[in-house]
Structure 1
Amino acid sequence: MYVFLPSTVPALAALLEEGRLEGAPLTAFAADPGPEGDAEEAEYEAMYAAAEESLALLAADPAAPRRRVVLAANMPDAVVEREGGAADGVVRVRVTAAVPYKKLASAHVDDPAASADVAAAAAEPGSGAADDHELMWFAVQELRHLVSGE
């Protein structure tokens, strides 16, 4: 199942060092467009549901760079449990195993210029302060460069 995992820059650095994302069960989001829904739109919404959840991770880690991080991974269905709907076309899931580096498909991260708005959004959940910022796409091969640039 293709899932979107909320994360932070330090958690991404740990994943790159350890070769996997630990902490199972992990909260994630997946597209669930239904038979009449738009799969691409549902994936976009699932990614931003994970981005919203990453704000809570940032609020809990004041030392982390103020950038939302979303990791996209292809995980076996056997380790993904549905928890319930999160939004129209989006389902909240639990990943019950570590996420190996080799299962990552991409990462989606805020531009550093968004940091003030992301900090405001992390400080005041639901404020929408970061809503005007689109996440940038990074290939798995670029992740080490992304982390070392912080």
Structure 2
Amino acid sequence: MRIYLPATLDELGASSDPAGGTTFAARRAHAVTDALRAALPDEDDEGLEYAAQLAAADDALLRIAAHPGVPELRLVLSADVPDAAVTLATGEDDAPSAVDVTVDVLLRDVACGHVDEPEAAADVRAALRGDESAVERLSERDLLWYDASELGAIPR
């Protein structure tokens, strides 16, 4: 299953598995779920994937808020994990794309990353302070695409 994993830039290379390589601890992520398909019935697969990615970008903002001192740019990693490693989030307030990843995600399972351009940092900081207009500006920004082999070169 393709998941969209919210992360911080500090997590790239921060922890490793014994066989070598970065791991991202199990956490809430987003995916194209039946609930998302039902919520957006007129969207094609690409539109549904984009909606899941945007929801993960919102959660990346929450991760930044929970980890002061990390680079203030949203990061979403697109990764492929076994279906059995994902459970649907069932809370009343959960986004229809919300899933819980029950295993650590290995960097080798990451297809690409999506990150704010460095100029977005001011809006990220403002959004973290509760500035609703900054949140709106962030929702209108496209995230930059990086191949998995380029993740180490993301400007911070």
* Smaller-chain TM-score bracket: 0.7 to 0.9
Q: How far 1:16 sits from its partner (Å)?
A: 7.1
Name whichever structure is richer in strand by fraction: 1
Q: After TM superposition, where is structure 1 displaced by more than 3 Å over at least 4 residues in a row?
A: 15-18, 34-37
With normalisation by structure 2, the TM-score equals 0.82
C-alpha distance in structure 2 between counterparts of 1:22 and 1:55, whole Å? 16
Q: How far 1:12 sits from its partner (Å)?
A: 2.0
Q: How many residues align?
A: 144
**1:97 — aligned with what?**
103
C-alpha distance in structure 2 between counterparts of 1:110 and 1:10, whole Å? 14
- List alignment gaps of at least 5 residues for structure 1: none
**2:151 matches 1:140:** no
**For the aligned residues, what is the CA RMSD?**
2.2
Asked whether the equivalents of residues 5 and 29 of structure 1 are also in contact (C-alpha less than 8 Å), the reply is yes
C-alpha distance in structure 2 between counterparts of 1:143 and 1:16, whole Å? 15
Q: Percent identity?
A: 36
**DSSP-derived class of the 2:136 partner:** coil
**1:31 — aligned with what?**
32
C-alpha distance in structure 2 between counterparts of 1:81 and 1:125, whole Å? 33
C-alpha distance in structure 2 between counterparts of 1:100 and 1:61, whole Å? 21
C-alpha distance in structure 2 between counterparts of 1:125 and 1:31, whole Å? 29
Q: Which moved more, 1:104-113 or 1:121-130?
A: 121-130
**2:115 — aligned with what?**
109
- List alignment gaps of at least 5 residues for structure 2: none
Q: Which moved more, 1:29-38 or 1:98-107?
A: 29-38
- Relative to 1, partners in 2 of residues 1:125 and 1:104: Cα closer, same or farther, differing over 3 Å? farther
Amino acid at match of 2:23: L
